[in-house]
């Protein structure tokens, strides 16, 4: 033990405070999910529920049902815990629950999925981190501590990490660390093969410490690993470098603005036009929805999440090729109005990059999650060249699972120039699509993308639009 503790060279980083040592050792690069055959996404709940903002989506891998089920159970347990809390009277902003996921590693031997689960009950934001592994050879879903050889290895790792934490100062409490699986539920590897342990907010330190993580050099960690752990380390070694913010912005250069190639054939000043919009996808129901829209020769605007777009880029290309418009709905569906400018910009830029890489076009529209916007959101959207789009018809498909009710609500509310809110993840919404299309077509409506509602008037970056008439920039407001 003493020999292992001597000169281990462990380093850490926090994205929220200025690091005291180089941050790179604790950063984990992530695998492009489009490279994993059969990967899609599943939704537990998204939208506004009982005054709460909820976005709970996780990956599903066709060949690994046990991994998918373990991820579902993990997210479900955390979401249930969140919903059991009473919402404080007059809570502002809305309590929020958000799940973001990445592939920590992928090879023919193993898959690793890192979940970052954040929540707020109206003030303060805290995150927990969990990494789940799947051994493809033995078809087993594993918790992070299963990457270690045995209980003795866990005890050794605890001492290694505790010693490093003791150097962190008053924001970190090394005595809070115990050799229990619950405290080591997020273990991964950086591209050099160093073992990275990361902790939940306030698990071993004060909330202001931000993300606390420790990197154990590969040579020190190797004797502690199980056979699956060694395979996981091999999978992570050499993972591609993360794309920088500058590179993501540069990817927009020399790319055309996103536009339906069928635009221009309808004069909405004369025709009765309606813009159907679908958000949160692409997901398991998106292909079926595209089939239905194609059968009725209807076009729509898809506000996609960057995290989902990166998993299913072929569906974005199909949207483009079939005359639909692809637009930005942020990376991971956070309430943008509660984020500092840098994080808000990152949410939009990462999504913009994923969409541009998929379709070769740069989105010019964005829809803020939950329909919540303010002056700062509009300002950053303007700087990124995007108009802010909301809606004036809500079919309430997140509160209703009856396709006929959804369809009747849409048909009754639509007026010329309407922008209709729907959700691409909802099976009931897709089931309602044929009746919506038939009913509106019978009333003489033509289905167009959002910009076509405005004819030759270009939509202005940074301006908020909620129907066929231009509105001024809206103050912070939620209408979802």
* pLDDT of amino acid 399: 85
Judge if 135 and 268 occupy the same domain.
Answer: no
The band of 398, judged by pLDDT with boundaries at 50, 70 and 90, is confident
Half-sphere exposure at residue 6, Cβ-oriented, CA atoms within 13 angstroms: 3
In a domain, 97, yes or no: yes
Q: Are residues 82 and 197 in the same domain?
A: yes
Q: Which of 48, 75, 74, 71 is nearest to 61 (CA)?
A: 71
Within-domain flag for 74: yes
Q: Nearest to residue 237, comparing CAs of 285, 178, 189?
A: 189
Domain count, the chain: 2
Instruction: At 357, give phi and psi (nearest 5°).
Output: -65, -35
Is the pTM for the entire model greater than 0.85? yes
Look up the domain containing 276 and give its range. Answer: 250-465
For residue 63, how many other CB atoms are within 10 A of its CB?
Answer: 14
- What is the CATH classification number for the domain harbouring 75? 3.30.565.40
Structure confidence by residue, pLDDT tens digits, 185-233: 999 999 999 999 999 999 998 877 788 999 999 999 999 999 999 999 9
In a domain, 295, yes or no: yes
Residues 228 and 256 in one domain: no
Q: Which of 208, 236, 264 is the last residue of a domain?
A: 236
The pLDDT tens digits of the residues spanning 52-86 come to: 899 999 999 999 999 999 999 999 999 999 988 88
Residue 462 pLDDT more than 70?
A: yes
Q: Furthest-apart CA pair in the chain: how many Å? A: 82
- Split at pLDDT 50, 70, 90, the class of 250 is confident
The domain boundary residue, chosen from 185, 207, 236: 236
Q: Given a cut of 50, is residue 8 above it in pLDDT?
A: no
Asked if the model's pLDDT at residue 241 lies above 90, the reply is no
List of residues 6+ apart from 227 with CB closer than 8 A = none
- Do 163 and 266 lie in one domain? The reply is no
Residue 480 predicted with pLDDT over 50: no
Determine the average pLDDT of the residues in 259-287: 94
Residue 301 CA: distances (Å) to CA of 102, 338, 364, 390: 26, 26, 12, 12
Q: Worst-scoring range by mean pLDDT, 80-89, 371-380, 411-420?
A: 80-89
Are 342 and 447 members of one domain? Answer: yes
pLDDT value at position 469?
54
CATH of the domain at 312: 3.20.20.370
Residue 88 sits in the same domain as residue 155: yes
C-alpha to C-alpha distance for 20 and 461, rounded to whole angstroms? 40
What average pLDDT does the structure give for the chain? 90
Last residue of some domain: 186, 207, 236? 236
The pLDDT value recorded for residue 426 is 87
Distance (Å) of CA 257 to CA 207, 253, 254, 350, 367? 42, 10, 9, 17, 17
What lies within 8 Å, CB to CB, of 471 at 6+ separation is: 463, 464, 465
């Amino acid at each position: 033990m003493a020999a292992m503790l001597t000169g281990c060279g462990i380093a850490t980083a926090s994205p929220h405070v200025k690091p005291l040592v180089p941050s790179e050792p604790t950063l984990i690069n992530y695998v492009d999910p489009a490279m994993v055959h059969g990967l899609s996404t599943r939704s537990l709940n998204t939208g506004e529920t009982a005054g709460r903002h909820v976005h709970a989506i996780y990956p599903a891998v066709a060949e690994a049902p046990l991994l998918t089920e373990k991820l579902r159970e993990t997210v479900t347990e955390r979401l249930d815990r969140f919903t059991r809390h009473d919402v404080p009277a007059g809570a502002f902003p809305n309590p929020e629950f958000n799940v973001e996921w990445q592939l920590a590693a992928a090879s023919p031997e193993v898959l690793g999925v890192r979940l970052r689960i954040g929540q707020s009950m109206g003030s303060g934001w805290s995150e927990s981190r969990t990494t789940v592994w799947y051994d493809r050879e033995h078809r087993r879903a594993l918790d992070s501590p299963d990457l270690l050889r045995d209980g003795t290895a866990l005890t050794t790792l605890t001492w290694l990490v505790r010693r490093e934490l003791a150097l962190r100062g008053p924001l970190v409490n090394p005595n809070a660390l115990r050799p229990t699986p619950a405290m080591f539920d997020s273990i991964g590897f950086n591209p050099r093969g160093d073992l990275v342990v990361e902790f939940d907010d306030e698990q071993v330190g004060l909330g202001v410490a931000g993300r606390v993580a420790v990197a154990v050099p590969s040579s020190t960690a190797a004797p502690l690993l199980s056979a699956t752990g060694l395979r996981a380390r091999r999978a992570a070694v050499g993972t591609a470098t993360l794309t920088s913010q500058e590179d993501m912005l540069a990817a927009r250069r020399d790319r055309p603005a996103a536009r339906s190639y069928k635009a221009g054939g309808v004069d909405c000043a004369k025709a009765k036009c309606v813009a159907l919009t679908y958000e949160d996808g692409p997901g398991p129901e998106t292909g079926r929805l595209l089939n239905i829209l194609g059968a009725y020769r209807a076009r729509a605007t898809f506000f996609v999440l960057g995290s989902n777009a990166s998993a299913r880029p072929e569906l974005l290309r199909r949207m483009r090729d079939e005359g639909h418009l692809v637009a930005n709905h942020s990376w991971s569906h956070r309430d943008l109005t509660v984020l500092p400018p840098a994080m808000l910009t990152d949410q939009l830029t990462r999504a913009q990059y994923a969409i541009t890489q998929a379709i070769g076009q740069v989105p010019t529209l964005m829809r803020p999650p939950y329909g919540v916007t303010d002056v700062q959101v509009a300002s950053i959207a303007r700087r990124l060249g995007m108009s802010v789009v909301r809606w004036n018809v809500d079919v309430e498909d997140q509160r209703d699972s009856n396709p006929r009710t959804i369809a009747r609500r849409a048909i009754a509310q639509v007026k010329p120039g309407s922008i209709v809110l729907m959700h691409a993840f909802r099976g009931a919404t897709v089931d309602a699509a044929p009746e919506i299309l038939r009913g509106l077509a019978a009333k003489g409506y033509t289905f167009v993308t959002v910009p076509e509602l405005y004819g030759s008037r270009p939509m202005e970056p940074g301006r908020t639009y909620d129907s066929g008439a231009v509105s001024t920039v809206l103050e912070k407001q939620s209408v979802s």
